[in-house]
Copies of this chain bind each other. A is one copy, B any other.
Amino acid sequence: MYSHAHGQHEARPGRRRRRLGLCGGEFLRIAANHPHLEIGAVTAHSNAGATLGSLQPHLRSLADRVLEPTGVEALAGHDVVVLALPHGASGEIAAQLPDDVVVLDLGADHRLTDAAAWEQFYGSPHAGTWPYGLPELLHTDGTRQRDLLRGARRIAVPGCNVTAVTLGLQPGVAAGLIEADDVVAVLANGYSGAGKSLKTHLLASEALGSAAPYAVGGTHRHIPEIQQNLGVAGAETVRISFTPTLVPMSRGILATATARLQAGADPAAVRAAWADAYADEPFVHLLPEGQWPSTAMTLGANTALVQVAVDAAAGRVVTVTAIDNLVKGTAGGAIQSMNLALGLPETAGLTTEGVAP
């Protein structure tokens, strides 16, 4: 079989749309080399009529593609539709698409099950929940999220920071080895996560040679999504201090996430729990003891590299997870879930080899 993939390119001003602009481009980069995909319509709003090469010249095989106006007409006749829109916009379009079309929403609209949490962090009505696109998410019954993605026709792709923090901590939650009620996560983030939004603090002259935090103090929209995932993995109460920091790299997330070792838990059991959780995962790898991940190891690859250690003196388990925010963090993860939805090999079109150094 073959499928058509469709990436949307928003062009109205504002942070969200631009970030998704990048996601759309990255989806096309991977899709262009996917053995089972044929790229159909590529649409945009204000950029409709332009060639893709004029906007994303690194996608050589698609350089001559002319962007079509976004709309149901352009989307008709595809097996897969990728929505990269500002939040609030995807539900409306999805409703107009046939039920048997696989719709991947790279935005946040359909990730949360808790409408109150949605409204608190996004300030708009909840658009409903779609199957959550993190195949490795652990469930308390021992199953994994991928079982819910096989044959799915609507998929909510996770947030990039959420993927990194969830993969780092969930083995300890599922094994009852860490307390989830006082998690602290600090992330080093590349600038591509902020997309093409034209803001002074995103300029190269401000970014080069500097590190700076943002959304500090419990305001980041990824917080409820992390709470939801760790809840699925078995945590009763999840409280998290979450601080992302922009550092001078284009891609990558390095997530340092720590939680208290469960009272009475055996520190010696920690490593085994993480090893068991990811032993058979094609894209999530626990590194050999003593080797710590770097974001460069994952550049351009769909991998999440994890390491864990017990700090007995501090009474905490420390995990570090590295991903490429645009691949495993967004477009690659989306294709992994799409593969499951379409009944393709889960790894089709995705690489585990990072572009390093």
Give the interface of A toward B (CB within 8 A).
22, 29, 32-33, 53-54, 56-61, 63, 182, 184, 186, 188, 190-192, 194-196, 198-200, 202-214, 216-218, 223, 239-243, 245, 247-252, 254, 256, 258, 260, 285, 287-288, 291-301, 303, 305, 307, 309-316, 318, 320, 322, 351-357
Contacts and interface: CB of A to CB of B under 8 A. Distances in A.
B60 A352 contact: yes
- Most B CB contacts (10 A, CB to CB) among A60, A288, A292, A309 go to A60
B191 A203 contact: yes
Contacts of A296: 58, 206, 209-210, 212, 250
Contacts of A184: 184, 186, 241, 258, 316
Tallying the copies of this chain within the complex gives 4
A241 B318 contact: yes
B205 A202 contact: yes
Given A58-B299, A186-B186, A210-B249, A205 B315 contact: no
Given A239-B315, A254-B245, A310-B217, A291 B208 contact: no
Contact of A353 (B54, B58, B195, B206): B58
21 contacts: A29-B353, A32-B351, A54-B288, A56-B356, A58-B297, A58-B354, A58-B357, A61-B352, A184-B316, A191-B204, A196-B205, A206-B296, A207-B207, A209-B296, A210-B249, A212-B294, A212-B296, A213-B254, A217-B309, A243-B318, A251-B357
A217 B311 contact: yes
Contacts of A315: 182, 239
B209 A299 contact: yes
Q: 6 tightest A-B contacts by CB?
A: A217-B309, A58-B354, A210-B296, A204-B207, A212-B294, A186-B186
B357 A205 contact: yes
A13 to B, nearest CB: 11
- Most B CB contacts (10 A, CB to CB) among A195, A210, A247, A251 go to A210
Given A206-B250, A208-B208, A209-B295, 6 more contacts: A191-B204, A210-B357, A211-B249, A216-B307, A223-B313, A247-B249
